[in-house]
Amino acid sequence: MKKIVVLGSGNVAGHLCKWIISSGNLLCGIYSRNKIKGKSIADKNNIEYYCSIDEIPKADIYIISVSDNAIKEISEKIIAKDSIVVHTSGGCGINELSPAIENRGVIYPLQTFTSGRELDYNRIPLFIEASNQDSYNSVKVLASDMSNQVFDSDSEKKRKLHISAVFACNFVNHLYSIGSSIIKEMDIPPQIIAPLVEETVNKMVAADNPFMTQTGPAVREDYNTIEKHLEALADTDYPRKIYELLTDSIINYKLNGKL
C-alpha cells in the first residue's frame, strides 16, 4: 500500500482520487490552487484538502494532474527527496517534470474523464514510464493496483496513442455531430440515431479486425448510392469533402489492403 497525494482539481484529478481509494492505496490528501474545486473533491472522498503546496504531507508518490503547461511549474515546488513525482499527461514527456526531482514517472490513463460519470477503472489502460528502476517498480505496483491494463510507454508511444485516440474519439465525435445535424434539419430528434451508433460501436470494438465490420455504400462499392448522397450534399462544404475522402479511403483499403 502506497501513500499518495494528488495535485490538481480537474476532471482527471477528481476521478484519480476515487480511483486510488478504490485501488486499496492510501490517499493522504489533495492539493489544488482552486479552493472550491479542491475542497469539493476532498469532501466527496473524505480526504484532506491542502491549499498550500508547502503543507502537503510526506507521500510515496505525488501525482500531478493539471493542464500540460502547468506541470513544470508545480513540479518545481514539490519537495520530494525520497518520493516519486509522476504526471498523468498524454501530451508531455517525463522530462516535463523538474530535473531537480530524481524519481520521476508518468502514469497516463487512456480515457476521457467527466466529473460525475461512473467509470470501470479496472478496464482503463495505464501507460507508465519512470526515470529509474526503483521508481518504475513502485509506479508499476501502483498502476497494477489501479488497472488490469498496464503497459510500458515512452513519449513516442504516447504520441501514437494520442493520434489513434484523435481518430477513434475526437473525429468520431465530429462525424456523429455532422450525422445528427442532418437529422435535426428534418425536425426529427437527433437522438434517434443513438441505438444504431451504439450497436455499430459495440460490434466494432468486439471485432478482432474492425476493418472487417465495415458496412455501408463505400465498402459495397455502391457507386449509385454514393452519387446520390454526394448530390444531396452538393450545397455543403466540409460534409461533402469528408464524405468523398472517407469513401475514397474505405474503397482504397478494400482494394489495396492498406491505408
- Of residues 33-92, which lie at the interface with a copy of itself (CB under 8 A)? 91
Which of 58/203 has CB closer to a copy of itself? 203
Work out which of 21, 53, 70, 124 binds a copy of itself, going by CB under 8 A.
124
Q: Which of 65, 89, 111, 131 binds a copy of itself (CB under 8 A)?
A: 111
Do 50 and 34 meet the contact criterion of CB atoms below 8 Å apart? no
27 vs 110, beta carbon nearer a copy of itself = 110
Nearer to a copy of itself, 22 or 202 (CB): 202
Question: Least Å distance between CB 74 and a copy of itself?
Answer: 20
CA 244 – CA 182 distance, rounded (Å) = 17
Give the 3-state secondary structure of 131-179. Answer: CCHHHHHHHHHHHHHHCCCEEECCHHHHHHHHHHHHHHHHHHHHHHHHH
Strand pairing partners for 27? 4
DSSP-assigned beta bridge partners for residue 151 = 127
**Cell 455531430, located at residue:** 177
* Between 22 and 215, CB nearer to a copy of itself: 215
Scan residues 188-247 and list those touching a copy of itself (CB under 8 A). 188, 190-205, 209-211, 213-219, 225, 228-229, 232-233, 236-239, 241-243, 245-246
Cα–Cα nearest to 241, from 189, 175, 142: 175
Report 168-197 residues binding a copy of itself (CB under 8 A). Answer: 168-183, 185-186, 188, 190-197
Q: Per DSSP, what are the bridge partners of residue 85?
A: 62, 104
Shortest distance, CB of residue 3 to a copy of itself, whole angstroms? 28
Phi, psi of 45, deg, nearest 5 = -105, 5
* d(C-alpha 232, C-alpha 227), whole Å: 9
CB-wise, 53 or 251, nearer to a copy of itself? 251
| Alpha helices (H) in 28-152, listed in sequence order | 35-45, 68-77, 133-146
Name the one range near a copy of itself by CB under 8 A: 23-31, 76-84, 135-143, 149-157. 149-157
Residue count, binding to a copy of itself (CB under 8 A):
88
Please report whether residue 22 would count as binding a copy of itself according to CB under 8 A.
no
